[in-house]
Amino acid sequence: MREAVAVVTLLLTSTAALGASVAPGAARVSLALALVTVAADGATGSAAPTRTGTAFAVSTAPGRTVFLTAAHVVGCMSVSACSSTEVTVYLSGELRNPRRGHVIAIDDLDGGRDIAAFVVDEGPLPTVDLGSGLGVGHAAAALGYPGATLGALSDRRIEASATAVLSLGKVRRDDGFALEGDFETFPGDSGGPVFDPLNGSVSGIVHGQAPNAGPYLAVGAAALNHFVKALPEFANSATVRTATPVQAPNPTPRSLTGTPAAASMYAAALKVRTSDPGEYARDLRAAADAGNGLAADDLGLAYRSGTGLSKDQDLANLWIARAVELLKTAAQNSDSAALFRLGQIAERGELLPLGNPLRYSSEYTEKIALDYVSRAAALGNADAMLNLGRDYHSGYLVTRDAKQARYWYCAAAVAGSADAAGWLGFLYSDKSDAPELKDPALSSRWYGIANEIDSSPATGMSEARTLCRSASLPR
């Protein structure tokens, strides 16, 4: 009987010791991580040179698990060329119990999508969640088996397991296909996961380092998700989990700030916002006292505007500061409503640096606002996706791009935003400021869907999903 398979589990509760400027989070990353070796250039024999790399499981079933790694680790350009390639797999770096794997898919290595998939006849094993892009400035973590730890592969006197090493840093560039960051990687890390340390979802595969000590490189989330979805055996499989905004299931993500009772109080306040400002303010105070960050921010704004209360700038500042504290705590748990509200507060210039009474510069304010909104959108928040669509439509904070605007409007409409459907109606109309998208028939359909979402949300969202999928909208 095979020995029990050890599973890599990381609980990121403190990052200071790792030298990374990342807020402590509670993300638990549980995955089947593997060290892989392949005989270089078809060489055979015990003394043959080998390539080494890292791999992680993305789909599993009894007796069968699919791993992803970098294509350059397996060293061949196609599945047929890999037919004679033997992949040796050490689950969790356990060198005393090697498994064998065979390659089932290779992406376009020359095109920069350095991805390969191989199968090991063992399972079920823990698999990762595949996420969306991280965005510039977002925290990123890379996990792998750097070559310096692999002396055991050539020196059999060492019987310990090879050690997986975690590196934390920030993203410098991420266009969905290529990701650059200052997380540190070494030979042997290639093929390992790059993931969001706040929620544990994998958003890339380690590729290597740019020439001349340039930035560390990874294949991005869009290429990764496209590759996985294209695997024939998983085309209709529920075991491959992705975070695709166009399929966001929840139009109104529940905020994790405060207790369920606090969330109910906040919902009650919103119902009387225009009809009874005094009751609105009282309900906000109750919800804010109970720890709801959204209510605390709204209460601060109510003090600032005098909505149901006497104007008081000091109390306004106090409650907004309390809101930021509560929302940041929730954001560390990937609360999309908290992330979006933090983006709005950043746009107002009210996210103050810890211990620094001065405001952020306008450039940094815009950068952090876009980061928060992008992260909320990636988690399926309809308001954030609509906001991101408007940013791309207008060119605010980002380069104007009508097709990106269309993508995010579509994602928001699928998540239940009637406003987003209406904006799609405009984009396709004769009055559109994107003439290349002009389609009067499609414009009419989207205006109809906007009305449908208002009157019958489930029906309207279903129609939006069907139309978005049939249109195969690029991001």
402-414 helix and 440-455 helix, angle to the nearest 10 degrees:
30
Task: Place 197 in a pLDDT band, splitting at 50, 70 and 90.
Answer: confident
What share of the chain in percent tops pLDDT 90? 22
Per-residue confidence band for 303, with pLDDT thresholds at 50, 70 and 90: very high
What average pLDDT score do residues 119-139 get? 86
The pLDDT assigned to 362 comes to 64
- In this prediction, residue 243 has a pLDDT band, given cuts at 50, 70 and 90, of very low
Class of the 247-380 domain?
Answer: mainly alpha
Query: In the chain, what percentage of residues exceed pLDDT 70?
Result: 77
Its pTM stands at: 0.48
Among the residue ranges 59-63, 284-288, 364-368, 409-413, the one predicted with the least confidence is: 364-368
Over range 349-366, report the average pLDDT. 59
Q: How far apart are CA 328 and CA 333, in angstroms?
A: 9
Taking the mean position of all CA atoms in its chain, how far away is CA 20? 19
Q: Do residues 138 and 145 make contact, with C-beta atoms less than 8 angstroms apart?
A: no
- Tell whether the model's pLDDT for residue 69 goes beyond 90: yes
Q: Can you give the pLDDT at residue 248?
A: 35
pLDDT at 184: 86
pLDDT in tens, 427-436: 888 887 788 8
Q: Which residues of 412-428 are buried (b: 16+ CB within 10 A; e: fewer)?
A: bbbbbbbbbbbbbbbbb
- Cα–Cα distance measured from residue 32 to residue 54, given in angstroms and rounded to the nearest whole number: 11
User: Would you say 470 and 246 are in contact if contact means Cβ atoms under 8 Å apart?
Assistant: no
CATH number assigned to the domain covering 8-243: 2.40.10.120
278-289 confidence digits (pLDDT tens): 999 999 999 999
Per the model's pLDDT, the better-predicted residue between 255 and 220 turns out to be 220
Q: C-alpha angle with apex 161: 157 to 164, nearest 5 degrees?
A: 135
Q: Retrieve residue 34's tokens.
A: 């593997």
Residue 126 binned pLDDT confidence (cut-offs 50, 70, 90): confident
Across 115-119, 254-258, 341-345, least confident range: 254-258
pLDDT confidence tier of residue 256, bands split at 50, 70 and 90? low
CA 422 from centre of chain: 27
> For 89-111, how does the pLDDT look when each residue is reduced to its tens digit (9 = 90+)?
988 877 778 899 988 888 754 44
The pLDDT assigned to 323 comes to 92
pLDDT at 471: 58
Report pLDDT for 40: 62
The number of residues making up the chain comes to 475
Mean pLDDT over each residue of the chain, to the nearest integer: 77
pLDDT score recorded for residue 30: 63
- Residue 316, φ and ψ in degrees, nearest 5: -60, -50
- Which are the contacts of 308, defined by CB distance < 8 A and separation ≥ 6? 276, 277, 278, 279, 280, 281, 282, 302
Q: Is-contact 117 104, C-beta < 8 A?
A: yes
pLDDT given for residue 384 in this prediction:
92
Nearest to 252 by CA among 149, 451, 140, 385: 385
Q: Which of 82-86, 137-141, 156-160 has the highest mean pLDDT?
A: 137-141
- The predicted-structure confidence for 37-68, as pLDDT tens digits, reads as follows 887 654 544 445 578 899 999 888 888 889 99
φ/ψ of 41, rounded to 5, equals 55, 35
As given in the structure block, the two tokens for residue 222 are 């869009």
Tokens found for residue 161: 């397991």
What pLDDT score does 252 carry?
39
